Amino acid sequence: MSAPAPANRQVLRLLIVEDQIDLAENLFEFLGESRYALDFAADGLTALHLLATNPYDVIVLDLMLPGVSGFDLCQRIRRDLQCDTPIILMTARGALADKERGFECGADDYLVKPFELRELQLRIDALYRRYTPRKAGLEAGPIRFDPGTLRVTMNDREAELTGIPARLFELLIRAYPNFLSHEALSEAIWGDSSGDADGHSLRTHIYTLRQTLQRALGHSLIRTVYGRGYRIEPPAGDQEPQA
């Protein structure tokens, strides 16, 4: 489910993660008439897949989800996807211990049901204003990546990425200087680490990403951590072994 935003206005892209269809429809009806473009996920795996393949300005996340709780999903968004998009948790659980757990999992705001839709809108806008300055670009040494344009720049040279290679690069540069495991990358891209059980698809996309970066920037930038995963390596480091 998705809803476009009106033309000629600044667009905020939202991901609504909510398994109650009636509430989701109310949110779409209220926010869809304003300056928002909305995507919808009814469960955690769908949400992870959407986050791995699309940029969002704010995530509105229900706690009571099928399969994986909102607490666990929030933690995985921060830890596995290395995603710092602001998250609003919404739930009927208003105890202080629940709020404390939510913030410890990486949430930026906590809204207790029932609530006025206008209050949610105000909180979305406030989070977006605070978050916007941090979205200008991601850096790893001399490497800069703009999630908005999907452009990588280094030493006055530029590469424009697309599709899954662009998302892989964003995940890796967000994790820098740490590596990301094969399992974390596969789950982020395909929504389930078993979706690429033999790693062939992941290796193919990493190879495509390296080739694009090598042609445009003169360096492939992605190092294999053998038996573990991949990480960004700026040119000053050792030359990376190829997968």
143-181 exposure pattern, b = at least 16 Cβ within 10 A, e = fewer: bbbbbeebbbbbeeeebebeebbbbbbbbbbbbbeebbe
Question: What is the three-class DSSP state of 158?
Answer: strand
pLDDT at 66: 84
pLDDT given at position 34: 64
Q: What is the CATH number of domain 138-232?
A: 1.10.10.10
What pLDDT score was predicted for residue 71? 92
| CA-wise closest residue to 238 among 217, 226, 221 | 221
Residue 28 half-sphere exposure, CB side, CA atoms within 13 Å?
Answer: 18
Per-residue pLDDT, 11:
74
**What Rg do the C-alpha atoms of the chain give, in angstroms?**
19
Domain with CATH 1.10.10.10 in the chain: 138-232
What local confidence, expressed as pLDDT, does residue 9 receive? 45
CB 230 within 8 A of CB 222: yes
Q: Provide the 3-class DSSP secondary structure of residue 234.
A: coil
At 74 the pLDDT is 94
**What angle, 0 to 180 degrees and rounded to 10, lies between the N-to-C axes of helices 44-53 and 182-190?**
100
**Distances from the Cα of 72 to the Cα of 36, 61, 62, 94, 155, angstroms:** 26, 11, 11, 18, 40
CB < 8 Å & 24+ apart, contacts of 143-146: 143/173, 143/221, 143/232, 143/234, 145/169, 145/170, 145/173
Q: What's phi and psi for 139, nearest 5 deg?
A: -130, 145
**Whole-angstrom Cα distance, residue 152 to residue 145?**
5
Q: What is residue 136's predicted lDDT score, i.e. its pLDDT?
A: 56
CATH 3.40.50.2300 residue window(s) in the chain: 2-135
The confidence score (pLDDT) of residue 88 equals: 95
What digits encode the pLDDT tens for the residues 185-238? Answer: 888 887 665 555 556 889 999 999 999 999 999 999 999 999 899 999 998 744
Q: Which numeric CATH code is attached to 2-135?
A: 3.40.50.2300
SS3 percent helix, strand, coil of the chain, rounded to 5, is: 40, 20, 35
Q: What parts of the chain have a pLDDT lower than 70?
A: 1-10, 33-34, 132-137, 191-199, 237-243
Question: Is the omega angle on the peptide bond into residue 133 within 30 degrees of 0, that is, cis?
Answer: no
Task: Note the pLDDT of residue 205.
Answer: 93
CA 154 – CA 146 distance, rounded (Å): 12
